Amino acid sequence: MKQMNVNRFIDTNILVYCYTDDEPIKQQKALAVVNNQDTFISTQVLAEFSNTLKKKFKLDWPKVKNVISEVNSNFNVFINNPSTIDQACHIADKYKYSFYDSLIISAALSCNCKTLYSEDMQDNQVVENSITIVNPFK
């Protein structure tokens, strides 16, 4: 029987490790996480990643645009919308995450993801009885 892929969502920090060789062990683990056709990111992740490429890695805007284009072609991109924001407010209130972390969780839930990979959130926490946060570096 063929194993079905399960939707997964990655936070910005996982994507950053995919594109940096500063920490090769984390890069290897991040690449293993994203090596799945059912991997999702959101427009928020794209925006945060663009900012990181410019500020931390000092890439010029044409290079940032090229990397973002590559990312767009390799991931399913969820566009945040008003209902995503409403749900993020609920998650922030209920689970006490920051609004922006809650927006990531909300986007992941909207994509029917079962796993959210993040280095910054509580490892192994189950949110809304639906998605598990996993720190792939532990």
Q: Is residue 89 included in any domain, yes or no?
A: yes
Instruction: Report in angstroms the alpha-carbon separations of 96 from 12, 25, 26, 91.
Output: 20, 31, 27, 7
Q: Give the model's pLDDT for residue 5.
A: 66
Total domains in the chain come to 1
Q: What is the pLDDT of residue 35?
A: 86
**3 located within any domain:** no
Supply the DSSP symbol for 114. S
For residue 57, give both structure tokens: 């890695």
Say which CATH number the domain at 68 has.
Answer: 3.40.50.1010
CA pair distance 19, 64, nearest whole angstrom: 12
pLDDT digits (tens, 9 = 90+) for 114-128: 999 999 999 999 999
Tell me: pLDDT of 136 over 50: yes
Parent domain of 88: 12-134
**Separation CA 58–CA 93 (nearest Å):** 36
Whether residue 122 lies inside any domain: the answer is yes
Q: Is residue 2 part of a domain?
A: no
In a domain, 116, yes or no: yes
At residue 8, does pLDDT exceed 90? yes
In a domain, 4, yes or no: no
The structure's pTM equals: 0.92
What are the start-end ranges of the E strands in the chain?
A: 8-10, 39-42, 76-78, 115-117, 126-127, 131-134
11-35 pLDDT per residue, tens: 999 999 999 889 999 999 999 999 8
